[in-house]
Amino acid sequence: MIPAAFDYRRASSLSEALQLLSEGGEDAKLIAGGHSLLPLMKLRLSSPSTLVDIGRLSDLSYVREDGDRVAIGALTRHRDLQTSDLLRSHVPLIAHVAGQVGDPQVRHRGTIGGSIAHGDPASDLPAACLALGATFKVEGPGGKRAIDASDFFQGFLETALSPDEVLVEVSVPKFTGVGWSFQKFNRRAQDWAIVGVAALGGDSPGLGLINMGPIPVRATAVESALASGANAAEAATHASDGLDPPSDLNATPEYRRHLAEVLVRRALEEAGTA
């Protein structure tokens, strides 16, 4: 299908992007790689009046140390995350998950900021950010603010970002030497996950779930069970506690609950929490 008509503006700086967003109002949308927004536009599920292209803002593409954390620019491509030596050393979960996104074409164009700001519950990187306890830094006309990943996703394809704000950075703690795992079940390679799990081991395990509700979710019931002394198999039985998995052509809610338990157990065992 063909998207509805829209105006196209290319921003040469972050300040210009914010100005263009403000001028476009609530019907203006940012675009960088375009792999999340354009399919919705083709299906007429999204019809922005103005697209503000920020894909060439190179100053928002970086991976660098920031004390005991790693700072990732929102326009960093998935491929750059996958091959970053810094991430492989200190936050290998992010590097690995980025390498599982789509196909090479998607990984060379898609950005971490676009994946997170889109807020798709079937997306991989939001779950990894939840497991890691990431913080998202945003900027708008009212200034800068930081949003915890656990507070960012608010509804189906809805986030805590205001229409006139831009996600500029993802900040993740360093977890050097800590076990981790990423488990994803799909029917075919490169498909969206029917269910997925991003897990961090260590003394304070974290788990993010893919496609287990209307938003990317953290498996807090599993984390609580582990904190109470449960082993991996016991904790995994709580994988779907309090969650409302979707029903679609790929799976029923019951099947997703079963997959979540199986994948969470595998992830916990691989991450070293068993």
pLDDT by 10s per residue, the chain, length 274: 788 898 999 999 999 999 999 998 888 899 998 878 888 888 887 888 899 999 999 999 999 999 999 999 999 999 999 999 999 999 999 999 999 998 899 999 999 999 999 999 999 999 999 999 999 999 999 999 999 999 999 999 999 999 999 999 999 999 999 999 999 999 887 788 999 999 999 999 999 999 999 999 999 999 999 999 999 999 999 999 999 999 999 999 999 999 999 999 999 999 997 5
Q: Smallest Cα–Cα separation from 180: which of 272, 99, 83?
A: 272
Task: Return d(Cα 192, Cα 153) in angstroms, integer.
Answer: 19
**In 3-state terms, what secondary structure has residue 197?**
strand
For the chain, what are the domain ranges? 7-53, 62-173, 180-271
Contact 247, 254 (CB under 8 A): no
Contact 87, 99 (CB under 8 A): no
Task: Return d(Cα 239, Cα 262) in angstroms, integer.
Answer: 9
Q: Does domain 7-53 have CATH number 3.40.50.12780?
A: no
For residue 193 the two structure tokens come to: 């996950």
Going across the sheet that includes 166-173, the strands are 63-66, 69-73, 166-173, 135-140, 143-148
Residue owning tokens 């929102």: 74
Task: Return d(Cα 269, Cα 196) in angstroms, integer.
Answer: 15
Task: Give the helix/strand (H/E) hosting 108.
Answer: helix 104-109
Topology classification of domain 62-173 = 3.30.465
For residue 191 the two structure tokens come to: 């498909």
Phi, psi angle pair for 170, to nearest 5°: -110, 125
- Show Cβ contacts of residue 143 under 8 Å, excluding neighbours closer than 6 positions: none
> What is this structure's pTM?
0.94
For residue 152 the two structure tokens come to: 């960012």
Q: Does domain 180-271 have CATH number 3.30.390.50?
A: yes
Question: Integer distance in angstroms from the first to the last C-alpha of the chain?
Answer: 49
Task: Return d(Cα 137, Cα 202) in angstroms, integer.
Answer: 26
User: Residue 102 gets which letter from DSSP?
Assistant: S
